[in-house]
Amino acid sequence: MRPADLVSLGALTTLVPRAVLDEAIGVLGAQEQRVRKLPAHVVVYLLMGLCLYADDDYERVAEKLAGVMSYGGESRWRAPTRGAITQARQRLGAAPVQEVFARLAQPVATASTPDAFLGRWRLMTVDAFGLDVPDTPANVEEFGGRDPRGALPRAHVVAISERASRAPVAADIVRRPMPGPTLPPSLYRQLTRTMLVLADQGFYSYDGWRLARASGAELLWSTPVDLCPEHVRDLADGSWLGLIADRGLGLPRMAQLRSAARAGEELDPAEASVVRVVDYVLPAATAREVHLCTSLLDPADATAREVAGTWQRWRDEKEAARTPARPNGSRVLRSRSPELVRQEIWALLLTHWAQSALMCRAVTNTGVGPFPVEIQSALRLSKRRRHVLSTCDGLAKSLG
pLDDT for position 362: 85
Of the two residues 286 and 336, the one the predictor is more confident about is: 336
Distance between alpha carbon 244 and the CA centroid of its chain, in Å?
Answer: 25
Q: Is residue 339 part of a domain?
A: no
From CA 225, how far away is CA 234, in angstroms rounded? 21
Q: Is residue 171 part of a domain?
A: yes
pLDDT tens digits along 263-281: 999 999 999 999 999 988 7
Indicate whether 375 pLDDT > 70: no
Which of 103, 135, 167 is the last residue before a domain boundary?
103
Examine the domain organization and report whether 198 and 162 are in the same domain: yes
From CA 34, how far away is CA 57, in angstroms rounded? 27
Examine the domain organization and report whether 230 and 313 are in the same domain: yes
Indicate whether 322 pLDDT > 90: no
Q: Is residue 355 part of a domain?
A: no
Q: Is residue 64 part of a domain?
A: yes
Examine the domain organization and report whether 195 and 311 are in the same domain: yes
Examine the domain organization and report whether 86 and 207 are in the same domain: no
Residue 14 is part of which domain span?
3-103
pLDDT tens digits along 162-172: 999 999 999 99
What residue type is 103 in one-letter code?
A: R
pLDDT for position 178: 60
Which of 73, 103, 133 is the last residue before a domain boundary?
103
Q: Is residue 179 part of a domain?
A: yes
pLDDT for position 283: 58
Residues of the chain with pLDDT > 90, as a percent, come to 55
Average pLDDT score, the chain: 83
Examine the domain organization and report whether 111 and 197 are in the same domain: yes
Indicate whether 326 pLDDT > 90: no
pLDDT for position 389: 34
Q: Is residue 350 part of a domain?
A: no
Examine the domain organization and report whether 219 and 284 are in the same domain: yes
What is the tally of structural domains in the chain?
A: 2
pLDDT tens digits along 21-61: 999 998 888 666 545 678 899 999 999 999 989 889 999 99
Indicate whether 74 pLDDT > 60: no
pLDDT tens digits along 220-250: 999 988 888 999 999 999 899 999 999 889 9
Of the two residues 258 and 14, the one the predictor is more confident about is: 258
pLDDT tens digits along 277-310: 998 877 565 567 788 999 999 999 999 989 998 9
Of the two residues 380 and 259, the one the predictor is more confident about is: 259
- Enter the pTM of the model: 0.86
Examine the domain organization and report whether 94 and 129 are in the same domain: no
pLDDT for position 177: 66
HSE value, Cβ hemisphere, 13 Å, CA-based, for 387: 16
Examine the domain organization and report whether 315 and 235 are in the same domain: yes
Examine the domain organization and report whether 71 and 119 are in the same domain: no
Examine the domain organization and report whether 129 and 216 are in the same domain: yes
Which of 50, 77, 103 is the last residue before a domain boundary?
103
CATH number of the domain at 244, please: 3.90.350
Q: Is residue 362 part of a domain?
A: no
Q: Is residue 292 part of a domain?
A: yes
Examine the domain organization and report whether 207 and 320 are in the same domain: yes
Examine the domain organization and report whether 174 and 319 are in the same domain: yes
pLDDT for position 257: 96
